A and B are shown apart, each in its own frame.
Chain A
């Protein structure tokens, strides 16, 4: 695909944005990202512009202004680029009373309609809250024919357990094998979120589960696990992870004891053979 457009002059409209996207647009014009080397130039008047950069979810106050700016553009290319999640679909403000949104389900339909697409046709959606300068560069590059489109809609049919897929988009159900029971894993994972956050927790928990698996091979798992965790503790440099490992060890034995004592108590209270 050759370059469809060459030097596009752009007018930037703020349709009620929170200024996040506006700052990213400014960023893209700075020397590091330098949008102007692609032939883009920001002009102060829509009458000179080939394209419109819209940021913001289209408030009632800005609706007429946006329409006027769009109509003032020369009729030939009349490209509209929606920058940011708000401009693509209404974003987090989509059901606010201050927005102009005439979509049938008020933005809860399949395409999540909302934002400036209510009054002007949009040629390029650049979602992001705010989109990083690379994302804006990618959108503009795609408009100019430098980059190819990479996203594609997906439709998966999640099969019930114990069924095998026949079509391409059907997917089998799979619970990953773990050395500890699922209920332990769920509790530990949720507790760990408060210690190391969601970003690192899976990796930390995976390491811990490997230690547990090793410990339960020996005769005294409690001692062995303590040794293993101490070994890990000495090797690891990140103090956050160290704390998390100690925390996990305590929490694991707490859970283990609790479930076991609960099981014993239940067996005493409601012996299965009682009654009938």
Chain B
């Protein structure tokens, strides 16, 4: 059960070259550059973005102290780029702490020296959601909308008829609310509940 639980268990899995190869007499000097070694399990190496889980919300960008993570909007092409550069990363793992999907994965990777900085760049490109009413791209991605759908219970979605307005820009949302308020003037029920796709219910 407690596979990853205790820290001591994790430490036992750490492949230490001193134990395996030199069990009786450990050398004074490490044979490191001539053999391959592993870092201990709790070592903070550079983090890695898992593009399968990443939704492009930018929580990591807000948390990153030295701006190793930056979000760039490209509204003409409807994409949003999350760039991570290990050359700027100080391995504080704040991004790992705040990531709401677990997409930021901590690693123990330490062999990252290079002669070209391009090797240290990691980019994840996200597609922005498109508002059909205004013909504009939203600030958030389609994956973010899908994630919100998974977080909120279905009843609340139905009650507030969120399905209609979740893919709209702020302006379109406000316009829609005002229109509905005008239509339903005098009826003592929240206007948010009346914007329902199927008409009257």
Residues of A within 8 A of B (CB): 31-34, 37-38, 85, 88-92, 94, 107-108, 110-112, 123-129, 132, 134-135, 137-142, 146-147, 149-161, 171-176, 181-183, 186, 193, 198-200, 202-204, 207, 210, 232, 235-238, 241, 259, 263, 266-267, 270, 272-276
Known contacts: A160-B141, A272-B159, A276-B184. The answer to whether A111 contacts B85 by CB under 8 A is: yes
How far is the CB of B37 from the nearest CB of chain A, in Å?
A: 7
Pair A124/B113 contact, Cβ less than 8 Å: yes
Pair A156/B5 contact, Cβ less than 8 Å: no
Q: What's the Cα separation between A210 and B88 when bound, in Å?
A: 38
Q: What's the Cα separation between A199 and B96 when bound, in Å?
A: 9
Quick one: which of A112, A137, A172, A176 has the most chain B CB within 10 A?
A112
Pair B153/A158 contact, Cβ less than 8 Å: no
Chain B residues with Cβ below 8 Å from A174 are: 52-53
Pair B125/A158 contact, Cβ less than 8 Å: yes
Q: What's the Cα separation between A129 and B89 when bound, in Å?
A: 8
Chain A residue, CB-CB nearest to B93: A198
Chain B residues with Cβ below 8 Å from A175 are: 53, 101, 146-147, 150
Pair A33/B88 contact, Cβ less than 8 Å: no
Pair B96/A198 contact, Cβ less than 8 Å: yes
Pair B66/A199 contact, Cβ less than 8 Å: no
Pair B111/A147 contact, Cβ less than 8 Å: yes
Q: A33-B29, A127-B113, A238-B7 are in contact. List 7 more A-B contacts (CB 8 A).
A: A94-B66, A128-B91, A132-B39, A152-B119, A156-B51, A270-B193, A274-B189
Q: Can you give 18 contacting A-B residue pairs, CB < 8 Å?
A: A34-B30, A88-B87, A134-B37, A146-B34, A149-B119, A156-B125, A161-B142, A183-B151, A186-B151, A198-B96, A199-B42, A203-B5, A207-B5, A238-B2, A263-B153, A266-B159, A275-B187, A276-B187
Q: What's the Cα separation between A88 and B86 when bound, in Å?
A: 10
- Out of B3, B6, B113, name the residue touching A142 (CB < 8 Å): B113
Chain A residues with Cβ below 8 Å from B187 are: 275-276
B164 within 8 A of A: no
Q: What's the Cα separation between A144 and B189 when bound, in Å?
A: 76
B163 within 8 A of A: no
Pair B113/A138 contact, Cβ less than 8 Å: yes
Known contacts: A160-B141, A199-B42. The answer to whether A236 contacts B159 by CB under 8 A is: no
Chain A residues with Cβ below 8 Å from B88 are: 85, 88-91, 94, 112, 127
Chain B residues with Cβ below 8 Å from A107 are: 67
On chain B, the number of residues with a Cβ less than 8 Å from chain A's Cβ atoms is: 83
Quick one: which of B4, B113, B141 has the most chain A CB within 10 A?
B113
Interface residues of B in 150-200 (CB under 8 A from A): 150-153, 155-156, 158-159, 184, 187, 189-190, 193-194, 200
- Out of A94, A182, A267, name the residue touching B67 (CB < 8 Å): A94
Known contacts: A127-B120, A149-B114, A174-B52. The answer to whether A272 contacts B66 by CB under 8 A is: no
Pair A112/B155 contact, Cβ less than 8 Å: no
Chain A residues with Cβ below 8 Å from B111 are: 135, 138, 147, 150-151
Pair B114/A173 contact, Cβ less than 8 Å: no
Chain A residue, CB-CB nearest to B34: A146
- Out of B30, B33, B153, name the residue touching A147 (CB < 8 Å): B33
Interface residues of B in 98-140 (CB under 8 A from A): 100-102, 106, 110-115, 117-127
- Out of B5, B102, B114, name the residue touching A238 (CB < 8 Å): B5
Chain A residue, CB-CB nearest to B67: A108
Q: What's the Cα separation between A156 and B84 when bound, in Å?
A: 12
Chain B residues with Cβ below 8 Å from A128 are: 91, 110, 112
Pair A135/B112 contact, Cβ less than 8 Å: yes
Q: What's the Cα separation between A137 and B39 when bound, in Å?
A: 14
Chain B residue, CB-CB nearest to A181: B153
Pair A125/B115 contact, Cβ less than 8 Å: yes
Chain A residue, CB-CB nearest to B79: A157
Chain A residues with Cβ below 8 Å from B3 are: 203
Chain A residues with Cβ below 8 Å from B112 are: 127-128, 135, 150-151
Q: What's the Cα separation between A203 and B3 when bound, in Å?
A: 8
